[in-house]
Every structure is written in structure tokens, then in C-alpha cells.
Amino acid sequence: MLLPLLGIIIGIVLGLLLPLQIPVTYAPYMSIAVLAALDSVFGGMRAKLEDNFESDIFISGFFGNAFLAAGLAYIGDRLDVPIYLAAIFAFGIRLFQNFAAMRRHFLTYLRKKSDIGEEK
């Protein structure tokens, strides 16, 4: 559980420190790709907490979701149809669901730990 969190922190720090400029024309595609990648990271963290994490599924989902979401946004842009909204909706919902599951897991863990401490 600690390794994905460490990866997120390192990624954020590197993103803030490295002078990487993405052209404005690619910004909508990158934002959708980042949302999809974050969905995969939160899904991987949730899977780890539930003891069913598989690295090949995580890696394929991470890159597959990011490329699919960016590709759909690009196709929608070419067709002048806001397909990217579907990606935002789907990945946004899953992101919040995964976060809620992790929150429930930690709260349950803290309650059990508190109950054990009170019994002593």
C-alpha cells in the first residue's frame, strides 16, 4: 500500500520540478489521460487493500485506460462531439468509488484497532 502512495508523491514532485511544457492543443487529451491513469492508481491501491492486486492487470489498465481515454477525446474532437465527457464521467465515478472503498477499509481498520486497545 505504501509503494503506490510513494509513487504518486514522487510523480507529483517530479512534475512540479521538471520544466516539461505540454502544448496547449494537447492539454485536453492529457487531462483525460491523467484522469484515467489516476483511476487505475486508485483501483490498484484498492485491489492491494482487498488482497487481489495483480501487477499485469494494473499495468495494462494504467496504460490502456490512459491511451483509450486520450484517443476517445481526440476522435471526439475531430468529430466535434464531446466524447471526452463520457471518459470524465466514467473515470470520475470510479475514482470516487475506489476512494470511498479505501476510506471504508481504513476506518474499519482503525475501529478494530481501537476496539482491541480498549479491551486491554
- Count of domains forming the chain: 1
Contact 72, 86 (CB under 8 A): yes
- Tens digit of each residue's pLDDT (9 = 90 or more) over 12-46: 898 889 878 888 888 888 888 888 888 998 999 89
Specify if 114 maps to a domain: yes
pLDDT at 1: 59
pLDDT of residue 117: 66
Contact 98, 80 (CB under 8 A): no
Model pLDDT for residues 76-98, shown as the tens digit of each residue: 889 998 888 888 888 889 999 99
The H or E element that residue 66 is part of is helix 55-79
Mean pLDDT along residues 64-82: 88
By the 8 A CB rule, do 98 and 43 touch? yes
Q: Is residue 16 part of a domain?
A: no
Q: What pLDDT score was predicted for residue 88? A: 86
Assess if residue 81 is contained within a domain. Answer: yes
Q: Does residue 8 form part of some domain?
A: no
**CA torsion sign, 68 to 70 to 76 to 78?**
negative
- Is-above-0.85 flag for pTM? no
- The reply to whether 20 falls in a domain is no
